[in-house]
Amino acid sequence: MILAAMHTTRRRLSCVLLATGLLMLPGLVGAETVIKPIPTQFIAALGDPGATSGTGAESWGLWPEDPGPRGVRLSGYEALKAEGGVAPAQWKFDGSDWWLEEHGLIMEQPEFPIPPGRYVVTGGREVTAVLTVHPKGDDGVQHWELDNGATLYDVTHLRCRSARYTPATSANSCSPAKAQMTAFPVAPGGPMPPVEGCNKQDYEVLIVIGMAVDD
Over residues 48-91, the pLDDT tens digits come to 999 999 999 999 999 999 999 999 999 999 999 999 999 999 99
Mean pLDDT throughout 108-129?
Answer: 97
pLDDT confidence band for 214 (50 / 70 / 90): confident
> Which pairs with CB-CB distance under 8 Å and at least 24 residues apart come from 166-171?
166/96, 166/97, 166/198, 166/199, 166/201, 167/96, 167/197, 167/198, 167/199, 168/197, 168/198, 168/199, 169/197, 171/96
Are 15 and 207 contacting, i.e. CB atoms less than 8 angstroms apart?
yes
pTM for the full model?
Answer: 0.86
What pLDDT does 172 receive? 86
- B/e letters for 85-95, b = 16+ CB within 10 Å, e = fewer, are eebeeebebee
Are 174 and 197 contacting, i.e. CB atoms less than 8 angstroms apart?
yes
